[in-house]
Amino acid sequence: TQLLEQSPQFLSIQEGENLTVYCNSSSVFSSLQWYRQEPGEGPVLLVTVVTGGEVKKLKRLTFQFGDARKDSSLHITAAQPGDTGLYLCAGTHSGGYQKVTFGIGTKLQVIP
Amino acid sequence: NAGVTQTPKFRILKIGQSMTLQCTQDMNHNYMYWYRQDPGMGLKLIYYSVGAGITDKGEVPNGYNVSRSTTEDFPLRLELAAPSQTSVYFCASSLQGLLGYTFGSGTRLTVV
């Protein structure tokens, strides 16, 4: 079974703090996605990274794909209450129908 | 721009009853997927389709069936509901799995 491990599983921080969450695997992925899911809703795609070492920025969020395409990180600068949610990473395997493996997620709470 | 629409939002079934979860997308995506999400378990793939008339099993297909008669619609059928099927079900679609998914808002199903 190919696994994507996310850490930490839970994170509670004060508004204005910085944080980093991690997504690790022993498998090589063709691409990796990050999603944010709010209670009662489906996951919403934040970013897709494709190239090893790639860095993408989305306002205060910075996403990095590891050089070997086995891991990724999400860094949030100056967290806001609106960042609260479940952050999921998902890795796409090459070949076939491009099977996707999801991590269990990091549950982030930003306290005002 | 509706994206992926799922109905119903909530449903309570008795053991042994049947139901169909509806999913439709208006983005002309070839790929469609059904996932279930359970606490601490992440998203598990039930069935997927790479185009109209083509479906295949995912990780946890037992107790479910699907059909894909059109590009837009991908209903999920539960024939004999069991308590183990209590979960939140998400439908998703993609142009290519490599680029990430668009998810619906989910159906919360309870089997009693």
pLDDT digits over A4-39, tens only? Answer: 999 999 999 999 999 999 999 998 999 999 999 999
CB contact under 8 Å between B98 and A97, yes or no, is no
Check which CATH number belongs to the domain holding B102 and give it: 2.60.40.10
* Residue B32 backbone dihedrals phi, psi, to 5 degrees: -135, 150
> Whole-angstrom Cα distance, residue A21 to residue A6?
7
Q: Which residue of chain A is at minimal alpha-carbon distance from B54?
A: A97
State how far the Cα of B81 lies from the Cα of B92, in Å rounded to an integer: 22
Residue B9 lies in a domain: yes
Domain annotation covers residue B32 = yes
Task: Enumerate domains of chain A plus CATH numbers.
Answer: 5-111 (2.60.40.10)
Total number of domains constituting chain B: 1
Place of tokens 């703090």: A17
Residue A72 to residue B50: CA distance in whole angstroms: 28
Residue span of the structural domain in which B92 resides: 4-107
What is the spatial distance between Cα B25 and Cα B92, in angstroms, rounded to a whole number?
9
B3 conformational bin, left if phi > 0, alpha if psi -120 to 50, beta if neither:
left
Task: Answer yes or no: do B42 and A103 touch at CB < 8 A.
Answer: yes
Residue A35, number of CB atoms within 10 A of its CB = 23
Query: What is the per-residue pLDDT across A39-98, written as a single tens digit (0 to 9) for each?
Result: 999 999 999 999 999 999 999 999 999 999 999 999 999 999 999 999 999 999 876 666
Q: Residue B112 domain-assigned?
A: no
